[in-house]
Amino acid sequence: MFRLRREAKRRVDHDNPELKLRAKAVVLHDLVRLTISARSFSSGFWRIITIALVISTLISPLLVSPIYAQGDPEATPIPFTDGLRLEFGRTVLGNINQIAQRDRYILFGRAGTVVSVGMFPLAQSQLVPRFEVYAPNGEVAVSSISAAGAVISGYELPVTGAYIIFARAGGGGRGGAYTMTAAQGIAVREVRQAEITANASVSGELLRLGDRDVYTIEVTAGADFAAEVVPIQSGLIPVLEIVDPNGNLLARAAGQLGNRRVLLTPQITQSGTYQVRVSGFQGQTVGAYLLRITAPESMG
């Protein structure tokens, strides 16, 4: 009897959540009967093994993918879990395989923290990423959708608490694999990190929404320092930032549609290693650029 039911369970259409649960119910029924008969066993070991099997069957539905309401393709999913915790600076891999599926993530943050979130399709994936961020009060705070990648850049958390992120398919509902990343600051990820010398120019390119390039340079106090970034035949609207040796933002400016060139000339009051950071406006523009640094009294 048990062998036949195991075979039936193997033949269940695993794409049908209702049949999957019915199969588990059948197996649970058999295990309960086996538990009752186990009372006649002289060894307590077998009783423990049987009870463990029953508990495993009871909790197994909680460990599988969520089951979603049938019929309405836009129906609200019925998740069995509270979601995966999304930590700053880490990337998780997900997969949307049903139209009504919404993957749920939890992001904890303090009021005033500036965060960026990005959801990107993997290669060959037909998914159009889309997500909404719900504030601790249950209201939608921000959302994004884009075939190139859904990005929210530089969002300041209004209150301390748990923010819920629902990731799903947009633009017709095609599914596929994706990555989800959360980071502190205005960039989802920092791609290029390199040293740059005084009175030099370097070309770079931001390839993905939410990216930022970071350059370091040694500068002496009192140096006539200037940093300039100019887009090169691209749709990039650059954001240029200068960070002092203590990690404080010294200067920041963004280009505009009519004038995308950005020039910063901050006053240098201390010697040390400075950062020059280049990103796209609100994380929504990409492309090639030319960065020029002028610092006549720079060290090295």
Structure tokens given for 252: 């920041």
Quick: pLDDT tens for 157-207: 999 999 999 999 998 778 899 999 999 998 998 887 889 888 889 999 999
Question: Looking at the structure, do residues 53 and 91 belong to the same domain, yes or no?
Answer: no
Question: Looking at the structure, do residues 119 and 174 belong to the same domain, yes or no?
Answer: yes
Question: Looking at the structure, do residues 100 and 153 belong to the same domain, yes or no?
Answer: yes
Has residue 25 been placed in a domain?
Answer: yes
Of 128, 153, 184, which residue constitutes the final position of a domain? 184
Q: What is the pLDDT of residue 149?
A: 93
Look at strands 84-85 and 91-96 and give their pairing.
Answer: unpaired
Q: Is 55's pLDDT higher than 70? A: no
- Longest C-alpha distance within the chain, in Å? 91
Rounded CA-CA distance 186/268 in Å is 24
Q: Give the pLDDT band (50/70/90) at residue 117.
A: very high
Has residue 202 been placed in a domain?
Answer: yes
Question: Looking at the structure, do residues 120 and 165 belong to the same domain, yes or no?
Answer: yes
SS3 171: coil
- The total of structural domains in the chain comes to 3
Of 184, 209, 232, which residue constitutes the final position of a domain? 184
Q: Give the pLDDT band (50/70/90) at residue 214.
A: very high
Q: Give the pLDDT band (50/70/90) at residue 226.
A: very high
Q: What is the pLDDT of residue 257?
A: 77
pTM of the complete model: 0.64
Question: Looking at the structure, do residues 34 and 54 belong to the same domain, yes or no?
Answer: yes
User: What is the mean pLDDT of the segment spanning 63-78?
Assistant: 35
Quick: pLDDT tens for 281-300: 888 889 999 999 988 654 44
Q: What is the pLDDT of residue 18?
A: 39
Q: What is the pLDDT of residue 100?
A: 84
Question: Looking at the structure, do residues 198 and 114 belong to the same domain, yes or no?
Answer: no
Rounded CA-CA distance 228/6 in Å is 69
Quick: pLDDT tens for 247-265: 999 999 998 877 789 999 9
CB atoms within 10 A of CB 124: 7
Residue 241 phi/psi, 5° resolution?
Answer: -130, 145
Query: Considering Cα of 200, then 201, then 205, then 211, what sign does the dihedral take?
Result: positive
Q: Which domain holds residue 239?
A: 189-294
Q: What is the pLDDT of residue 258?
A: 72
Has residue 54 been placed in a domain?
Answer: yes
DSSP count for the chain of H helices, then E strands: 3, 20
Which range (27-31, 108-112, 154-158, 280-284) has the least confidence?
27-31
- The CATH number for 258's domain is 2.60.120.380
Q: Give the pLDDT band (50/70/90) at residue 48.
A: low
User: What is the mean pLDDT of the segment spanning 114-130?
Assistant: 93
Q: Is 244's pLDDT higher than 60? A: yes
Which range (15-19, 154-158, 160-164, 226-230) has the least confidence?
15-19
Q: What is the pLDDT of residue 199?
A: 86
Q: What is the pLDDT of residue 295?
A: 80
Question: Looking at the structure, do residues 175 and 200 belong to the same domain, yes or no?
Answer: no
Question: Looking at the structure, do residues 34 and 85 belong to the same domain, yes or no?
Answer: no
Residue 262 phi/psi, 5° resolution?
Answer: -125, 130
Strands, DSSP E only, in the chain?
67-68, 77-78, 84-85, 91-96, 103-109, 114-121, 128-134, 140-145, 150-156, 161-170, 176-184, 189-195, 200-206, 211-219, 226-231, 238-243, 249-254, 262-264, 272-280, 287-294
